[in-house]
Amino acid sequence: MARFYVTTPIYYVNDVPHVGSAYTTVNADGLARWHRLLGDDTFFLTGTDEHGLKIQRAADENGLTPQEQADQTSERFKEAWKLLDISYDDFIRTTEPRHRVAVQQLLQEIYDNGDIELETYEGPYCVSCEGYYAESDLIDGVLCPIHLRPVETLSEENYFFKLSRYEQPLLDWYAAHPDFVQPDSKRNEAIGLIKGGLRDISITRTSLDWGVPVPWADGHVFYVWYDALINYATAVGYGSEPERFEQWWPHVHHLIGKDILRFHCVYWPAMLLSAGIEPLPHINVHGFLLVGGEKISKSGQKLTAITPAELVDEFGVDPLRYHLLRHTPLGADGEFSFEAITERYNADLANNLGNLLSRVATVVGSKCDGVGPAPSPASPLAAVAAEVYGAVAAAWDAISPSDALDATWRLIRETNAALEAAEPWKADPGPEVDAVLGDALEVLRIVSILASPALPTAPAEVWRRIGLPGRPAEQRLPHAAEWGGYPGRLPVEKGPPLFPRKK
């Protein structure tokens, strides 16, 4: 059986969910749902990243323990994903014991291979921040950029990962695996980073204890990023269930935003190579959603601080998900706006899909006594449906949800045109009217399945209204997309508009 393992980044719990994290997560969810339709054994992972100085500091400010701080914010992510109907199979938290075990084992592996060495780190340190700065970040070369107080030079013994040894191995892997990092523009960026030269990286800290302890050295904890990356391995059994890990790891796909490209496309693969874990994951890098050209942020003004919950209130879960998947192709940055989501909603959901259901249900009511007829095997729409299925499958395979939805809506448009040509509402009841209405019902059946990865709710309602038992998400492709699946002689219910027009 085919397997598919998809991950989102684990979100850092110093922030609450915003539209950007929703964007990544909804895309991952769409992919997971698509693969479940294919009947693949699918594993969808998301979670939260909970170690590090920022968390410890936030906890101190709030009078909480770091764990309590992490518990609270982690819960916010779970709530957000519930609201968005995110069908994750596992929600990992880096403070869980299973993760500690995996981190210690993986990094011990690297240590044993000789790729981790103790070195002295020396640099400008701000006591108030309890952290080091790069010389270039200092104000006037001597002041902490946050506290505007003089920094002092401190040195600390840290363990370093010998990343510099992996320049060539990484370049070799990139050369041998053209689809390692997608899209190509991001792949080139990653290769550029590597060719620019890799420095060894500090992976432990002694100045704080909110982290995974280094097994071979008391007083050291792993630096948050190197513990975080390992979550993808932890969740499928690294360190605890070797056979499970072997099964899933070859099928892993990471979805990430461009801000963490360096970590995922350079550091993480190098760590895996060092630990002897192959193959390397597939990585798909997407851009940012911008509001008015600006990056979304929780601290921005009202527009950029828009939350997923507000959008769900305004548009509903399905329309928000549809817009996120359809509007901004994975890869480059995209613009997010109320105008755009409203346009999408009206044009695609209300006018095309929703209205198709309405008009078909009405005519079935008047010409067929409300009993849906079967489609005709020779319908011209059968060929369109077959073509569309091919395009949809290819698009999901290429991790292009927007193309998959675009193709699906082509079928809806063709069906509206076919109805227009046949004008069943003018004709007398009979085989010809039955055929064209049956075809339209068949399209609604197929579209319900093909749209279900994006829309978790509405397609099930379409399915029910055209009299089908079960749910679209329970169907199995490609068989379920073959023309002729609508059996006919089923009660068709009109019901209220599926997506009432906005404004």
Q: Does 118 bind RNA (CB under 7 A)?
A: no
Question: Quick one: which of 139, 260, 371, 473 contacts RNA (CB under 7 A)?
Answer: 260
Paired tokens of 122: 């020396």
Q: Are 80 and 22 in contact (CB under 8 A)?
A: yes
Amino acid, single-letter form, for residue 480: A
Taking the complex as a whole, the smallest distance from the CB of residue 433 to RNA amounts, in Å, to 11
DSSP 500: P
By beta-carbon proximity to RNA, the closer residue of 131 and 237 is 131
Taking the complex as a whole, the smallest distance from the CB of residue 312 to RNA amounts, in Å, to 17
By beta-carbon proximity to RNA, the closer residue of 249 and 336 is 336
447 to 486: interface string for RNA, x by CB under 7 A: ----------------------------------------
Q: Does 335 bind RNA (CB under 7 A)?
A: yes
- Print the SS3 string covering 344-373: HHHHHHHHHHHHHHHHHHHHHHHHCCCEEC
Q: Does 167 bind RNA (CB under 7 A)?
A: no
Q: Does 207 bind RNA (CB under 7 A)?
A: no
By beta-carbon proximity to RNA, the closer residue of 62 and 188 is 188
Residue in the block written with tokens 């064209």: 436
Q: Does 223 bind RNA (CB under 7 A)?
A: yes
Q: Does 122 bind RNA (CB under 7 A)?
A: no
Q: Does 363 bind RNA (CB under 7 A)?
A: yes
Q: Does 196 bind RNA (CB under 7 A)?
A: yes
Q: Does 88 bind RNA (CB under 7 A)?
A: no
Q: Which helix (H) or strand (E) holds 202?
A: strand 201-202
What's the rounded Cα separation, in Å, for the pair 208 and 227? 14
Beta bridge partners of 5: 43, 252
Q: Does 408 bind RNA (CB under 7 A)?
A: no
Judged by CB under 7 A, the stretch of 39-47, 182-190, 447-455, 481-489 that binds RNA is 182-190
**Alpha helical stretches, state H, 129-251:** 167-176, 184-195, 224-228, 231-234, 242-248
Q: Decide: helix, strand or coil at residue 106.
A: helix
Which of the residues 24 through 63 are near RNA (CB under 7 A)?
A: 24, 52-54
Which of the residues 297 through 316 are near RNA (CB under 7 A)?
A: 297
What's the rounded Cα separation, in Å, for the pair 474 and 466? 16
- Total of residues contacting RNA (CB under 7 A): 81
CA 456 and chain centroid, separation: 15
